[in-house]
Amino acid sequence: MPQRRLLYLDSNGLSACLWQGGTLHEEGHFPQDEAGIAAFSEYVARHRHSSFYLLADIADEGFQIEVLPYTQGADRSALLARKLGQYFYGSPLATALSYGREKTGRRDEKFLLAALTRPQLFEPWLAALHAAEAQLAGVHSLSLLGAQLIAKLPPVREHCLLISITRGGIRQSFFENGQLKFSRLSQMTATGAAEIAAGCAAEAAKIYQYLLGQRLLARGAPLPVLALAHPAQTGAFLEHCKNTEELQFSLHDLHAACKTCGLKTLPRDSHAESLFLHLLAQAPPREQFAQPAERRFFRLWQIRFALKSAGAVALLGCLLFAGKLLVDAFQWSGQTAEIQAQSEADAQKYQAILKTYPPMPTSTDNLRAVIGRFDDLEKRSAPVEPLFLALSRALGESPRVDLDRIQWQLNANPDDNFQSQQETRTPAANGEKPAAGAMHAIAVVHGLLPTSMATDQRGQLDAVNAFADTLRKDPSLKVTILRMPFDVESGKSLKSASEKAAEAVQPKFVVHISRKL
């Protein structure tokens, strides 16, 4: 951060001081002549990298309260510029302070229009600053800093008149609810405490009459007056500044006010310009009088500072992130080493355990393959109970049917009928494709019919079909008759008992049953 140098301008010339941590160091006084301006130019050239704050304490000031329609953006700037030009024509050192919007009606915005009406007094000093490319933060008025001081001097009053003594004279500023309404600087030639106190009392009486004439104060209402005085001069002020029905004086210790505001350099007399300079360095008001061209180099510094700050913050963030990654890398490296060491120790324990077992007849890979095949067989195994139960129910409803034998099989093809028999046409011969991947439990049932039915071919056909229909009642079963007790191909007729001698042989048939697992 650059150093802050404060410039105090009055009718006698310009004074410069350095502000550091609440302490003011006087660095020179430059009179209002060619020699003084030349010396000031050399001073600015030596400290061109500092930030300069110019505080003006002159009598050539103008104030105007104006209520304007509420606007924003470019319209607001144009409206204020036009109003400032109307009231303070020819003075570029003008500004507007917003006092907020009214609470009734159109809710217009109230402004205090202020200006330094003698710009010729500032031109040589501003020219010297601009020639040295110095960082001029702004041009301020001592009267506008009074609001900061009033806020720190309790109690807060609705109306009050602040009287302060500076090298420029006696400054009287009238405030309403903490807002500046009017300020006036009276020249002062007296040097004694008694004369200064008498001058303050006389000026306060004049301001009271002026406020009554401007209707800023109700007639008959007392005006509180706050006067800043050196502790050694309090007696003289108490003697001359006495309370009346119109003026109610309240003396404030100047040293106590300086300590309250944080100023470490206490004034030697009742002059309060050092206190106002400290307030300016501590919290510069947003409103100031310098034009943008005069503050160009200060704006450039602000941009450079913002960019450098953003770069510093980004760099710090990157360094913190890189540091975190570095710490994480060290932690991961340590954990990796521990895991590797543990893995090696576990491998050694495993090998030691393996050595205690008898040698295997085959390799581990072969055992793993055998176990895998065994698991596959286990998965492909299925219980026969569901098919047994279905056959049991069917046999219970078909008393003429007996079982000869049952062939069991697991197959992905539900129509598998043990092709080795080649006894009859199968559903697979019709071009049907089995479902891929699904396993089926298959039972090929070889059945017997009673010997008494050997000559009754129609009865045999009915008995076998009834047995198959009973099995089909279970929707999870697929039932196919592979072989009848006699040849039932088309083109052949059924033979009666008279055509062929009955033989005492039990009729046989074969039924194919499949169930999806």
pLDDT category, 41, cuts 50, 70, 90?
Answer: very high
pLDDT category, 492, cuts 50, 70, 90?
Answer: low
Q: What is the pLDDT of residue 116?
A: 94
Q: What is the mean pLDDT of residues 37-66?
A: 93
pLDDT category, 165, cuts 50, 70, 90?
Answer: very high
Task: Report the DSSP pairing between strands 169-176 and 179-186.
Answer: antiparallel
Q: What is the pLDDT of residue 21?
A: 86
Query: Which domains does the chain carry?
Result: 4-60+118-294 (3.30.420.40), 385-516 (3.30.980)
Query: Is residue 241 over pLDDT 70?
Result: yes
Which residue would you say has higher pLDDT here, 361 or 292?
Answer: 292
- The span from the CA of 8 to the CA of 273, in Å, is 8
Query: Is residue 378 over pLDDT 80?
Result: no
Q: What is the mean pLDDT of residues 140-149?
A: 92
Query: Is residue 502 over pLDDT 70?
Result: no
Strand segments, DSSP code E, in 155-287 are 159-166, 169-176, 179-186, 223-229, 247-253
Question: Taking a C-beta distance cutoff of 8 angstroms, is the pair 33, 18 a contact?
Answer: no
Average pLDDT value over all residues in the chain: 86
- The span from the CA of 147 to the CA of 152, in Å, is 9
- The span from the CA of 288 to the CA of 79, in Å, is 18
| Percent residues over pLDDT 90 in the chain | 52
Q: What is the pLDDT of residue 7?
A: 95
Q: What is the pLDDT of residue 184?
A: 92
At 367, list the tokens: 């055992």
Query: Is residue 28 over pLDDT 50?
Result: yes
Run of H or E including 62: strand 61-68
At 361, list the tokens: 């007849």
Q: What is the pLDDT of residue 27?
A: 93
